[in-house]
Structure 1
Amino acid sequence: MVRGGVREDRCRPGVREAGDGGGDGQHDAGSGPKENGAPASEPQGGGQHGGGGRERGSAPGGPRRRRRVLRWSATVLAVLILGTAGAGYLYYEHLNGNIKKDDLNLGDKEIAGPTPNAAGQTPLNILLIGSDARDTKENQKLGGAKETFGGTPLADVQMLLHLSADRTNMSVISMPRDTLLQIPKCTDPDDGEVYPASAGPVMTNQSLGRGGPGCTVAAWQELTGIRIDHFMMVDFAGVVSMADAIGGVPVCVDANIYSKDSQGHGSGLKLKEGTTYVKGEQALQWLRTRYGFEDGSDIARAKAQHQYMNSMVRELRENATITNPNKLRNLAEEATDALTVDDGLGTVKKLYDLSTQLRGVEPERITMTTMPYTYVGARVIPKEGDAEQLFRLVRDDIALDGKDEKKPATEETSSDPAAPEDEIGVLVQNGTRTSTLGPVGGRASTVRGLLVEKGFTRTTADQTTAAAEDETVVRYPSAELEGDAQAVARALGIPLGQVEKSTDVSGVTLVVGADWREGTAYQAKKEDDTTPESADALNGADKKACMKVDPNFTW
């Protein structure tokens, strides 16, 4: 796996015109990248990059407020102008009517929200979805593969955007589209059709076809344990229209690239070595390119997407490019028309309120990552240990850039008094299985014996194998049993942070996890709050990021 190209400082000082790109208009089959390499056609002009539309600034002394409106965060490009685009109530209602809405979560499992910080703030988690739907002539033209017109759409881009509770930093996790996971049961809100949980691991991008984006949300929540507050979905045409409206975004390759092979595979992206401003169709080509970037995998494509998004944020913050009322109106039209969101983001005001929270994050506090993975044939699965660590950091609202102020850990003791040890009923389950190791035989019985020795004589061992748990956990179903559960944890040296309320149990339940496969004394592992190296983190302020080009796709 080639991993080093993103950070190589290979960019030349000259900036290329977006019109340097091109292609021959052929298409891949299936859901592969588009092959029409023709760049968006726009007049060229002085002071513009990439073929037009990128005004270098507003009139001298222009209002600072307009520049502040542009200080927003990387991925939700659709919201940056919504607060200033309305020219009256009717136009406001027109924009509201553009926005398409769908249900947030089609699964049947709820995940508790995070605990507010000392200031009463909670983090915000938004799932960003790129659909490959060929449901319109425009999407068909951009996506190619004529035989797939009207077929089941796939969620080919999935990114979780996490905004910290104090709104000072942002983390993004990309999940490769070919990640194998268990998709939960989902119910289509339109016709009531029930999609049963997948019989086994399937590619995550199939989740979108099981009732809509709410099933993709459900799959993410079940895998990561992170509660998702909103989703935003955009298709091919939406990406092109918004990229055109915003103007050029600089991207870098370390050699000339032409993403096309003799069999017609590739996006058609054609760029010269160095930095080029891309927009419109060429921006879509960049975001969809696999063939030609590094090893041609979905992992490499995620890196290119991160580079584009970070560059876009810096451009919008450094240059007030959209001060012309007509451009503002155009971007408002394109943005609202391109988006599908949940009801919680379903109006211009709600989107603008979101942008207000996002735009305060400095690029230096934005961290783009890819879910740590392990290959299984041509597909990937979450990497044991590293993936869960990344998910935990987000669940616990720990900044991935490592710049959070460290605070001593505190454990809250329940106000509910525990019953005497010999009156507390405990069920011990064996969850020691891992992705590579089977469960340890008799482990539940061994730990049951430890509890009996400590006075918990009403403890029983479940002889069946429980669902795998990375970490030993004590669960309880209701508030009146919280004190009892904490008493069990203290008796075995299990941190109170591993005691949790759950409707999946009917009494105090101890699940022995993979972190306690042997021995009679539980060793609580020291928390490592660093972002795993395998997450391939890219800082939002990194201007040296440059995609490494496969020599087989250079010219």
Structure 2
Amino acid sequence: MTRSSVRGEVPAAEDTMSLAPRDQDQDQDQDQEGDQDAPAGQGRGGGGRGETGPGGDRPRRRRRVLRWSAMVLAVAILGTAGAGYLYYRHLNGNIKKDDLNIGDEKDRAAKPTANAAGQTPLNILLLGSDARNSKENQKLGGAKDTYNTAPRADVQMLLHLSADRTNMSVVSMPRDTLVDIPECTDPDSGKVYGALTRAMTNDSLGRGGPGCTVATWEKLTDIHIDHFMMIDFAGVVSMADAIGGVPVCVDANVHSHTSTGHGSGLKLEKGTTYIKGEQALQWLRTRYGFEDNTDIARARAQHQYMNAMVRELRENATLSSPNKLRKLAETATEALTVDDGLGTVAKLYDLSKELKKVPTKRITMTTMPWQYSASDSGRVVPRPGDAAKLFRLIREDIALDGKDKKKSAKDEKSSDPAAADDEIAVQVRNGTRTDTEASVGGRASEIARLLAGKGFTQAAADASVNAGEDTTVIRYPSADLEGDAQRVAEALGIPLSSVEKSTDVSGVTLVVGADWRAGTKYTAGQDDDSIPDTAQAINGSDKKQCMHVNPDYTW
């Protein structure tokens, strides 16, 4: 078989290397740019290795991510629709599988309720790894000193397909985000990884596999995740080649390279260029040269690429060629690692049909609202209020493009009758701490007194707990207390959507969040369903997207 020429030899679609089992199948980018990246600890964008997690401190260049791989995952499924059952058994053998969620089962987010037509939304976590454990991906990514080390989930995007299949939302998380990682158990070795607090989100993949990253997302967002998909590096090269290239735009000549060796090597002229092969890899890795040289700008460039690739897969007439479709199917299946629920071509084909129901104009690409951490230089945290709102919109299946004909379903009253107010025991916790602001002293006691004044005489402050919550929430442990919890919410003007079942509490528990730091009237939860501006939304049909070039990287 012949191979196309990309930095030496890159496999043609029908010759992409099959990967080994899970511990050897996550061979993805640490970024050519990363091989030449800044020293550890220098600025946010570089993402040094000095964070909590397995493996300890490592050169920053190992942090370079295949963010592009997560994007390609989505389009890979779209592209394989036409090739679905070609040499079925062969393609099935290409697909690698792993466990969906390896956290504690009792901590899983609840499945969404079906709509009136019996339909439920679908949530798929798209992942990419910075591992180097195949010759092909090692050659593409470089960083020889990181060969065969613990992978990092440096690409993380949640794809949400609406219950009625009319719209799709994609939420990407910056790779430097600090989150709480739950306890995870490696399905192969049985090794238990203890829970971490304020750890880099990309550490999760090395703690037993992609199922730990899924568990981390569910813990953060309370969104039930149905499937995950990972892809390898060579896949993006072969797929871009298979469809004849992907159009991208820059507003000035750009060369991502410096005299000190930083940059991906990307060199393009101003305007729109169809890129494939090595250029596609360079575009998706470029940080130095776009906007402010950060990973946030890189994510924006990747969104542009994904949107364009989806359009090409749908609109490019050359894909009617059976041979091109066969090559694309080979590439996609050899590149993928999925959970068992997507582990056959038939299941992927069925999924592709669901995804293709959504017109590109109803696809919205976003980035999780974030802000820089006050205590960890160069790291980011979910932006209080805005991140929680975006996750709520996903949980409630509200279209991010604002084009839903219907509003979100009204909060449903529990069939469980509430006890008398003075019989409802309520623990009040202070959750007003954020990454940038300290807790409001005495806040739990203040709200406990407020409740007592409203007749909830058994309300009491819990001084031992001072955890941070973006939004105020009321939790209850079992169905027989749901009515009581909703009664407390009603008394305080808190929406019923903020009342949730949780095994983390032993009774009705009110956590006063960062959205209610002062006053006795709760208003922060009375929010509209518009997407936060900080989510940086991009519409899938927008062909005018063009990356702004940093003036220091023009030629």
Deviations 1:26-54 (A, max 9, x none): xxxx9343599xxxxxxxxxxxxxxxxxx
2: distance between equivalents of 1:309 and 1:495? 36
1: distance between equivalents of 2:421 and 2:34? 68
Q: Residues 423, 294 of structure 1: CA spacing in aligned structure 2 closer, same or farther, 3 A cutoff?
A: closer
The answer to whether 1:498 aligns with 2:498 is yes
1: distance between equivalents of 2:228 and 2:328? 20
**Which residue of the partner structure matches residue 258 of structure 2?**
261
- Residue 410 of structure 1 and its aligned partner are, at CA, apart by 2.4
For 2:91, the aligned partner's letter is L
**Which residue of the partner structure matches residue 57 of structure 2?**
none
Q: Residues 407, 391 of structure 1: CA spacing in aligned structure 2 closer, same or farther, 3 A cutoff?
A: closer
The answer to whether 1:115 aligns with 2:98 is no
User: 1:324-335 residue pairs with structure 2 within 5 A?
Assistant: 324-335=321-332
- Residue 24 of structure 1 and its aligned partner are, at CA, apart by 11
**Which residue of the partner structure matches residue 181 of structure 2?**
183
- Residue 364 of structure 1 and its aligned partner are, at CA, apart by 1.1
1: distance between equivalents of 2:80 and 2:494? 49
**Which residue of the partner structure matches residue 30 of structure 2?**
31
Q: Residues 331, 510 of structure 1: CA spacing in aligned structure 2 closer, same or farther, 3 A cutoff?
A: same
The answer to whether 1:457 aligns with 2:457 is yes
Q: Residues 86, 463 of structure 1: CA spacing in aligned structure 2 closer, same or farther, 3 A cutoff?
A: closer
The answer to whether the Cα contact below 8 Å between 1:33 and 1:265 also exists between their aligned partners in 2 is no
Of stretches 303-312 and 258-267 in structure 1, the one that deviates more from structure 2 is 258-267
Q: Of residues 106, 123, 126 in structure 2, which corresponds to 1:125?
A: 123
The answer to whether the Cα contact below 8 Å between 1:393 and 1:400 also exists between their aligned partners in 2 is yes
**Which residue of the partner structure matches residue 337 of structure 1?**
334
Q: Residues 381, 517 of structure 1: CA spacing in aligned structure 2 closer, same or farther, 3 A cutoff?
A: closer
**Which residue of the partner structure matches residue 60 of structure 1?**
none
**Which consecutive residues of structure 2, in runs of 5 or more, have no partner in the other structure?**
10-28, 36-70
**What SS class does the counterpart of residue 417 from structure 2 fall into?**
coil
Q: Of residues 312, 337, 348 in structure 2, which corresponds to 1:315?
A: 312
**Which residue of the partner structure matches residue 536 of structure 1?**
536
TM-score, normalised to structure 2, is 0.83
Q: Residues 503, 427 of structure 1: CA spacing in aligned structure 2 closer, same or farther, 3 A cutoff?
A: same
- Residue 408 of structure 1 and its aligned partner are, at CA, apart by 7.3
- Residue 143 of structure 1 and its aligned partner are, at CA, apart by 0.2
The answer to whether 1:93 aligns with 2:92 is no
Of stretches 441-450 and 358-367 in structure 1, the one that deviates more from structure 2 is 441-450
The answer to whether 1:486 aligns with 2:486 is yes
For 2:98, the aligned partner's letter is D
1: distance between equivalents of 2:406 and 2:323? 47
Q: Residues 297, 522 of structure 1: CA spacing in aligned structure 2 closer, same or farther, 3 A cutoff?
A: closer
**Which residue of the partner structure matches residue 50 of structure 2?**
none
- Residue 241 of structure 1 and its aligned partner are, at CA, apart by 2.3
Q: Residues 321, 506 of structure 1: CA spacing in aligned structure 2 closer, same or farther, 3 A cutoff?
A: same
TM-score, normalised to structure 1, is 0.83
Larger radius of gyration: 1
- Residue 250 of structure 1 and its aligned partner are, at CA, apart by 0.7
Number of aligned positions between the proteins: 494
1: distance between equivalents of 2:310 and 2:238? 17
Q: Residues 249, 408 of structure 1: CA spacing in aligned structure 2 closer, same or farther, 3 A cutoff?
A: closer
**Which residue of the partner structure matches residue 151 of structure 1?**
149
The answer to whether the Cα contact below 8 Å between 1:74 and 1:310 also exists between their aligned partners in 2 is no
**What SS class does the counterpart of residue 106 from structure 1 fall into?**
coil
2: distance between equivalents of 1:87 and 1:494? 51
User: 1:441-456 residue pairs with structure 2 within 5 A?
Assistant: 441-456=441-456
Q: CA RMSD in A?
A: 2.6
2: distance between equivalents of 1:446 and 1:549? 51
**Which residue of the partner structure matches residue 303 of structure 1?**
300
For 1:138, the aligned partner's letter is E
**Which residue of the partner structure matches residue 213 of structure 2?**
216
User: 1:137-536 residue pairs with structure 2 within 5 A?
Assistant: 137-198=135-196, 200-376=197-373, 377-407=377-407, 410-523=410-523, 525-536=525-536
Higher relative contact order (CA 8 A, sep 6+): 1
Q: Percent identity?
A: 70
**What SS class does the counterpart of residue 318 from structure 2 fall into?**
coil
Q: Of residues 130, 133, 136 in structure 2, which corresponds to 1:135?
A: 133
2: distance between equivalents of 1:493 and 1:383? 24
For 1:402, the aligned partner's letter is G
The answer to whether the Cα contact below 8 Å between 1:430 and 1:464 also exists between their aligned partners in 2 is no
For 2:150, the aligned partner's letter is T
1: distance between equivalents of 2:495 and 2:527? 11
- Residue 120 of structure 1 and its aligned partner are, at CA, apart by 1.9
For 2:32, the aligned partner's letter is P
- Residue 427 of structure 1 and its aligned partner are, at CA, apart by 2.1
2: distance between equivalents of 1:24 and 1:334? 19
Deviations 1:47-106 (A, max 9, x none): xxxxxxxxxxxxxxxxxxxxxxxxxx9852222354543667xx2112111100011112
2: distance between equivalents of 1:447 and 1:76? 46
Deviations 1:316-361 (A, max 9, x none): 2222222222222222111111100011111111111111111111
For 2:456, the aligned partner's letter is F
1: distance between equivalents of 2:353 and 2:444? 51
The answer to whether the Cα contact below 8 Å between 1:425 and 1:507 also exists between their aligned partners in 2 is yes
2: distance between equivalents of 1:275 and 1:494? 49
